[in-house]
Amino acid sequence: MYKKIIFGTVVLLLASFGFYIYTSHHKDVDDRQAGLSTTQAIPSSDILSTTITYTNNGFSPQASVVKQGATVTVKNGSSEGLQFSSDDHPTHTKEPELNLKTLAPGQTGMFIVTKSGKWGYHNHLNDTMVGTLTVTN
């Protein structure tokens, strides 16, 4: 009878210890994953700057989200000229603050967005290359 009680107690202790190890390991993994997701993912409404790069294949990224007051940097990484312009082509009047002078290959331009909204843009010199910039409050 005592052997059954001792055996049952040992089994119970081993099972409890195993459960403790299992749950504490998974808690650490969950905490690390939660920490990574909160430190790596910045809410788009908090982004105060972005860089849009123009290549021979178009704009990268094609869609960006920034906060009102953010600085937008435009880099011409292509082998041709870039005239970063707001829609509509050819008038560029939907959001004129996006309009930049022509950038030669390797040049960079910048502007600060002051109005919230979703703005389309394109390369005036090759209007098939397009993108969007969303500005939040």
pLDDT per residue as tens digits for the range 74-104 = 999 999 999 999 999 999 999 999 999 999 9
DSSP 91-122: T--S-GGG----B-TT-EEEEE--S-EEEEEE
Element (H, E) at 74: strand 71-76
Q: How many helices (H) and strands (E) does the chain have?
A: 1, 8
Which residues fall within 8 angstroms of residue 37, CB to CB, at 6 or more apart?
none
Q: What is the mean pLDDT of residues 1-27?
A: 56
Give pLDDT, residue 54.
98
Give pLDDT, residue 82.
98
Average per-residue pLDDT for the chain: 81
Q: What is the mean pLDDT of residues 47-54?
A: 94
The answer to whether residues 94 and 118 touch, using CB atoms and an 8 Å cutoff, is: no
Give pLDDT, residue 47.
85
Q: What is the mean pLDDT of residues 56-70?
A: 96
Alpha-helical regions (H) of 41-88: none
- Distance between CA atoms of residues 119 and 111, nearest Å: 14
Q: What percent of the chain has pLDDT over 90?
A: 64
Lowest-pLDDT range of 27-36, 43-52, 59-68, 123-132: 27-36
Dihedral sign (CA 7, 13, 16, 17): negative
- Which position has the higher pLDDT, 14 or 37? 14
Write out pLDDT tens, residues 105-124: 999 999 999 999 999 999 99
- Distance between CA atoms of residues 51 and 108, nearest Å: 10
Start-to-end CA distance of the chain, whole Å, equals: 74
The pTM assigned to this predicted structure is: 0.66
